[in-house]
Amino acid sequence: MLAEERRFRIREILSMRRTVAAAELCEMLGATPITIRRDLAALEAQGVLVRSHGGATSRMSSTNFQPAYEMLLRSHSKEKEAIARRAVDLIADGDTVFLESSTTVFELACLLAQRNRVTVVTNSPSIVCELQQSAGITVLCTGGDLQKDTFYLSGDWARHSLSEIRVDKAVIGVSAIDPSYGISTSRQAEAQIKRLILKAAKTRIALVDHTKFGSQGFAYVCPATDVDVLVTDSGTEPHYIEQLREAKVEVLVADVK
């Protein structure tokens, strides 16, 4: 694991837990104590954390943590690929589907390239580029204000586009989910877009890797029960899956090998 990705993972862990022991980080990241001490020193210099004896305490707001798109794309890539493979069968030839701008949803878009008679509506420039040469897919883009760090189109144009469409299925990414609280994200503009995406769809699908469970973001999106199908990976703790199924959400679990 490269230093940049390892330090991102530490930031991610601290966004969900205020404190963490260095020994835990060594085990979770497969790194030596010397390497972890070096990483913590670098992150302390950036103002991310405060080192303490045997670990570190976060100086970040967990509700506002939003890593850059390129780092998200590299993070937990095996889980995202497995989730996408599990979810691809939910999209059939002839469907009109909204694919939200999300790194996990992008993995799904890559698997749809050979489908026929599928119409994809998206607010993701990355998905537009990925599917632009797919003969069997019609691609429509919402337009809107580009959030450059996350490649996410939002704002008035995106909201107006979404208010005027109806799709068979919508697939969203989730950055924070607590089954009892609901789905949330770090930005209000993104939360507004997610609500409109879900409202426009007959069937609502969420792709969520195991690291997103048990956390709450700044901006509330909706109850977890507003999703019809949730696809996650085998690293998700069973009690979260049980809670969702008891709430009548269909949960599909992708095995990460």
Domains of the chain (ranges, CATH numbers): 3-60 (1.10.10.10), 69-254 (3.40.50.1360)
Q: What pLDDT is attached to residue 74? A: 55
Please give the share of the chain, as a percent, with pLDDT higher than 70.
93
* pLDDT for 198 beyond 80: yes
State the Cα–Cα distance between residues 51 and 44, nearest whole angstrom.
7
Alpha-carbon radius of gyration of the chain: 19
Region 89-104: mean pLDDT is 96
Q: Which helix (H) or strand (E) holds 91?
A: none
pLDDT value at 62 more than 60: no
pLDDT at 197: 97
User: What tokens does 25 get?
Assistant: 């980080």
Answer with the residue of higher pLDDT: 8 or 245: 245
Quick count: other Cβ atoms within 10 Å of Cβ 202? 11
Least confident of 18-22, 172-176, 195-199: 18-22
Beta bridge partners of 177: 183, 213
Q: Specify the pLDDT at position 52.
A: 82
Ranges of beta strands (E only) in 27-80 are 49-52, 55-58
Percentages helix, strand, coil for the chain (3-state, rounded to 5) are 45, 25, 30
Higher-confidence residue: 53 or 63? 53
More confident call, 229 vs 212: 229
CA 65 to mean position of chain CA atoms: 13
Q: Percentage of the chain surpassing pLDDT 90? A: 67
Q: What is the mean pLDDT of residues 214-231?
A: 94
- Residue 58 near residue 18, CB atoms below 8 Å: yes
pLDDT score of 100 = 97
CA–CA distance, 9 with 11 (Å, rounded to integer): 5
pLDDT at 61: 55
Q: What is the mean pLDDT of residues 188-213?
A: 95
